[in-house]
Amino acid sequence: MARKYSKKASSSVERAMKKRNAGTLKSGRSGRTVKSRKQAIAIGLSEARAAGNKVPKKATGRRTGKAAKRKTA
């Protein structure tokens, strides 16, 4: 099976996780300290995208078919 992310992207995420664990990872414009693991991964992938590494596009906010049906029913 092919890799989902490039090795460079993985190292970017790893760097973000290490910064988060050290308590020095800051988020966007507000500059607040990141506490969430998911947010740290998202920041790492975003940095990898900006650097031009092989990273899939961001997932859109669309609901899956089952979730949409459940919401309307």
pLDDT at 73: 61
DSSP label at residue 2:
-
Q: How many domains does the chain have?
A: 1
pLDDT tens, residue by residue, 17-50 = 999 999 999 998 999 999 999 999 999 999 999 9
Task: Note whether residue 35 is domain-resident.
Answer: yes
Please give the residue range of the domain that contains residue 13.
Answer: 1-56
Task: Note whether residue 42 is domain-resident.
Answer: yes
For residues 56 and 58, what is the distance between their CA atoms, to the nearest angstrom?
7
Task: Note whether residue 14 is domain-resident.
Answer: yes
Q: State yes or no: pLDDT of 72 exceeds 70.
A: no
HEC-encoded secondary structure of 34-73? CCCHHHHHHHHHHHHHHCCCCCCCCCCCCCCHHHHHHHHC
For residues 34 and 49, what is the distance between their CA atoms, to the nearest angstrom?
19
pLDDT at 70: 72
∠ CA 7-12-17, rounded to 5°: 120
pLDDT at 12: 94
| pLDDT, the chain, mean | 86
